[in-house]
Amino acid sequence: MINPLKLGDYILVSEYHSKDNTYILMSMNYKIIQDEDAVKDFIKWLPDLKDNEIYYLSLFARRKYCPDLIKSNNKEQLRRFTATKENMLDKIRQLEIPLGCWKSGQTQAPQEALALYIMPNPRCMKKANEMMGKKCWDLTKSNNFNLHKEAMSCIQQSESYSHVVDFDIDTKDIDLTKLHDIFRTIETLPPCFEILETKGGYHILVYPRLATSYAENYKTDTSEEKYPIKWYKAMQETFPIDRSTHQLLPFAGCCQGGFIPKFITV
């Protein structure tokens, strides 16, 4: 039997065990990891880091997921941090603090408003260090000494290389099979794109080198190319792209406003 318990603004749930007539209080913490196996698979999917590379992640409370409780900006950044593939899972677990401790302004952020994001392309610490060096003098002149904020921004902006190009589509009312009209798919070779289903749509993650290579090497015999070399333009013409290139990606297997992002195939 499930018994709800009221604690402040939160409903906690306890589970009754009839054999020993006891209640066991269930989670009183935020739950960022929704599907641990999916999280581990996603981390494994990320490219291995080279020297001086790192991953950039960010936890948000988003108003659009919980408009009745989040009254501030469209999204409140609760925590941003860096991680390697080896320590990423542990660092995500560290976000699962007691309910009510994440706050949007002065308001406690509800579980259903939280979403974890990652930049899937590694960040270059060397580039970030060079950028930070140039900014230090500007900070001093403006009497701004928030080095941590500026350092994290430099890391976010310092992409090492484009492992994937991310196309963000904020609707599910599309025909994903049209991707096969844009990209050549060969069973014996790795795919040149992945599809991450999110709460409000999809992120199409294209491997740019593979996509261009397949298009150049597998033209049809007719004058019209079936698989366009200019796949970037074709994506923008075929789908309602909200944003593209370098952006934050919902973390597969983690929370996104009550939804669990996951890879799918078509």
Q: Report which DSSP code applies to 67.
A: T
Place of tokens 């409903």: 11
Is residue 34 within 8 Å of residue 254, measured between CB atoms?
yes
52: left (phi over 0), alpha (psi -120 to 50) or beta: left
Q: Report which DSSP code applies to 243.
A: E
Is residue 204 within 8 Å of residue 166, measured between CB atoms?
yes
Is residue 50 within 8 Å of residue 43, measured between CB atoms?
no
What is the per-residue pLDDT for 83? 98
State pTM to two decimals: 0.84
What is the per-residue pLDDT for 168? 95
pLDDT tens column, 158-172? 999 999 999 999 999
State the amino acid at position 73 in one-letter form.
Answer: N
What is the per-residue pLDDT for 11? 45
Q: What six digits make up the tokens of 19?
A: 């054999």
What is the per-residue pLDDT for 228? 58
What is the per-residue pLDDT for 244? 65
What is the per-residue pLDDT for 227? 55
What is the per-residue pLDDT for 229? 65
- Tell me if residue 157 falls in helix, strand or coil: helix
208-217 and 231-238 helices cross at what angle (nearest 10)?
100
Is residue 192 within 8 Å of residue 163, measured between CB atoms?
no
What is the per-residue pLDDT for 64? 86
What is the per-residue pLDDT for 8? 42
40: how many CB neighbours lie within 10 A of its CB?
A: 14
Give one DSSP letter per residue of 74-135, joined into a string: SEEEEEEEEE-TTTHHHHHHTT-PBTT-SEETTEEPPGGGEEEEEEEEEEEHHHHHHHHHHH
Going residue by residue through the chain (266 aa), what tens digit of pLDDT does each one get?
444 444 444 444 444 455 565 545 556 999 999 999 999 999 999 999 999 999 999 999 998 888 776 666 667 899 999 999 999 999 999 999 999 999 887 888 999 999 999 999 999 999 999 999 888 878 777 787 778 888 999 999 999 999 999 999 999 999 999 998 888 766 667 889 999 999 999 999 999 988 888 777 665 444 445 555 689 999 999 999 987 666 899 999 999 999 999 999 98
**Measured at the alpha carbon of residue 64, what is the angle toward residues 198 and 150, in degrees to the nearest 5?**
85
Is residue 56 within 8 Å of residue 82, measured between CB atoms?
yes
